[in-house]
Structure 1
Amino acid sequence: MLAELTAGAAHDALARQEAVSLAAVEAEAIAAPPAIDALAALSHGERVKIIAEVKRASPSRGHLAEIADPAGLAADYERGGASAISVLTESRRFKGSLDDLRDVRARVSLPVLRKDFVSMPYQVFEARAARADLVLLIVAALDDKTLAELFALSSELGMTTLVETHSADELSRALDLGARLVGVNARDLSTFELDKTLFARLAPTIPDDVVKVAESAVSQPSDVAAYRDAGADVVLIGEALVTNDPVSTLESFLAV
């Protein structure tokens, strides 16, 4: 599934590149206003922080929510206490777009993450051109050379990179890269199976100066509390927010 998602996202990016050249997108990315410092926004605090996600659908659950106004939802998240906004921009299985990200960026003052299956420089330039402050790189989807190149490019453009892992080996690769914001996803993106204990097993091996992000397997406040107790600085939440009242649900998660 991960290979399919990554290949599909690359195919769609190449189609966009036919319409808007790499040189044009690169120029727009370089000319964009400076990115917001996401590390500062997400760094360790007295309470767990939340990246709230704009997410219409997923391969594992199908349709989740219409979200006709992604910027309005992001504004609700900001009002509810989120520390950053994640926007799914993959169109085939998650029904998102870069227009969603642009709309969200124009509405909120929080850091905004482009969450997609990024495997080529064009997609990184697109993210910054659309005013993303963070970009997701999934270790399992990339070889070491590509991972390092995309990580370096994201940094050169002033963005923070959320480097996502799902095993001890992938975590080691992320740390060797010098990642300062590391995610541990309870959902295996190859099989889409969940392992709720994964973060707790891997977190002790993540250095204290790295911001630890727990991803997936959150449906109620006790799940956030468990991640917090296991050492998470940040929890990324999508499905539970888009399928319930976003503000009250977010507030209940932040209250743990």
Structure 2
Amino acid sequence: MCIHSFPLIQAKLDENAENALKVKEWEVGMFQNEMAVSQRIKIRRRSPTEPPTHYVGPFEFQLQNGGNTPRNILEEIVWNKDVEVTKMKERMPLSVLKKAIENAPPTRDFIGALKAAHFGTKLTGLIAEVKKASPSKGVLRENFDPIAKAYEKGGAACLSVLTDEKYFQGGFKNLEAIRKAGIQCPLLCKEFIIDAWQIYYARTKGADAVLLIAAILPDLDIKHMTKICKMLNMAALVEVHDEREMDRVLEIEGIELIDINNRNLETFKVDINNTKKLLEGERGQVIHQKDIIVVGESALFTPDDIAYVQDAGIKAVLVGESIVKQDEPGKAISGLFGKDISL
């Protein structure tokens, strides 16, 4: 064999190894989809089509499967997030994040802040959302940088910061900037988390809590990610939007915070009655027995809306659109609650 052929052979071996890794990643993705289906999760974690090439001797072929188009906006977001996170992990391995966390400031007590606000005002604690845009409403506020301080001054117990860039025009730079601006409120990283790596990354950017969405995460992922949050002294806010998701989450040990989203993330339609429906009967009893704090989200625009969900058993609310669009966020908060809630 000619010595000059060695580089070509090595290149082919490298190509085969790289493709084998892609095949493995694709198979993992398919397993995640199958596990999600077994728990009646409608959102597929990644596109089931266009797998990498398989080599069999001198031949190559691709496995084919239908359905490479996202079925709704949430599935589209998740598929894009999978690509985004894969690239970010290559640039910043988990070992680097863990090292950064060792020198990071301590987290703030997200759950404690909500409890204190509820006790102090006798109303629901407020998680005010710093949000520039959404897929359903477009741009909500061009200049949103100063509103974090206005929210805090207006009585917000915690802040929620959108970190998705593609669909919400957010970013981790916003989370980091708010933390460095001297905001004392605990911060929730509102992201589409599909990989535990994202939790570590959020911690390095100043997050005190993260959102875990039951519609896109199997039970095992929620359980594992909740444990990671506790290890990092962070809170995990687990979002549900129907009875099936609520029942799944209530079966998982160690859940302290549940967010009932009155917006269906597949259709983006809202229904405030969803809150009451999910807290009625045995579910409400289990929540009380486990001392879980329930947060209400979406379809909250008036003092009557706040009173309605509070009567249903809500201890805190996560509000964005109804206050972020106002010229004076502090006054918007007072208008939402029907009184000044700043302590």
- Name the TM-score class by shorter chain: over 0.9
Distance (Å, rounded) in 2 between the aligned partners of 1:67 and 1:127: 23
| 1:75 has 2:149 as partner | yes
Residue of structure 1 in register with 2:112 after alignment: 40
| 1:195 has 2:271 as partner | yes
Deviation of 1:163 after TM superposition, in Å, equals 0.4
Q: How many residues align?
A: 254
2:94·2:197 contact (CA, 8 Å) conserved in 1?
Answer: yes
1:215·1:235 contact (CA, 8 Å) conserved in 2?
Answer: yes
* Other structure's SS at 2:237 match: strand
Deviation of 1:67 after TM superposition, in Å, equals 2.8
Residue of structure 1 in register with 2:92 after alignment: 20
1:10·1:118 contact (CA, 8 Å) conserved in 2?
Answer: no
* Other structure's SS at 2:215 match: helix
Distance (Å, rounded) in 2 between the aligned partners of 1:218 and 1:241: 10
Unaligned runs of 5+ in 1: none
Residue of structure 2 in register with 1:95 after alignment: 169
2:257·2:293 contact (CA, 8 Å) conserved in 1?
Answer: yes
2:132·2:144 contact (CA, 8 Å) conserved in 1?
Answer: no
Structure 2 matches for 1:200-211, cutoff 5 A? 200-204=276-280, 205-206=283-284, 207-208=287-288, 209-211=291-293
1:204-253 Cα deviation digits (max 9, x unpaired)? 32322111100011222222222122221111000111111211011222
Residue of structure 1 in register with 2:80 after alignment: 8
Deviation of 1:159 after TM superposition, in Å, equals 0.3
- The match for 1:222 among 297, 304, 310 is 304
- When residues 57 and 141 of structure 1 are mapped into structure 2, their CA distance, relative to the original with a 3 A threshold, is same
TM-score (norm 2): 0.71
Distance (Å, rounded) in 2 between the aligned partners of 1:175 and 1:31: 35
Deviation of 1:93 after TM superposition, in Å, equals 0.7
Deviation of 1:68 after TM superposition, in Å, equals 4.8
Residue of structure 2 in register with 1:150 after alignment: 225
1:38-69 Cα deviation digits (max 9, x unpaired)? 11111242221110001111111111111352
Structure with greater Cα Rg: 2
Percent of aligned pairs with the same residue?
35
Question: Which amino acid is 1:241 matched to?
Answer: I
Question: Which amino acid is 1:220 matched to?
Answer: T
Distance (Å, rounded) in 2 between the aligned partners of 1:248 and 1:212: 25
Where in structure 1 do 4 or more consecutive aligned residues deviate above 6 Å?
none
Quote the RMSD (CA, aligned, Å). 1.5
Question: Which amino acid is 1:100 matched to?
Answer: N
TM-score (norm 1): 0.94
1:148-183 Cα deviation digits (max 9, x unpaired)? 211111111110000000112211222222311111
* Other structure's SS at 1:93 match: coil
| 1:237 has 2:319 as partner | yes
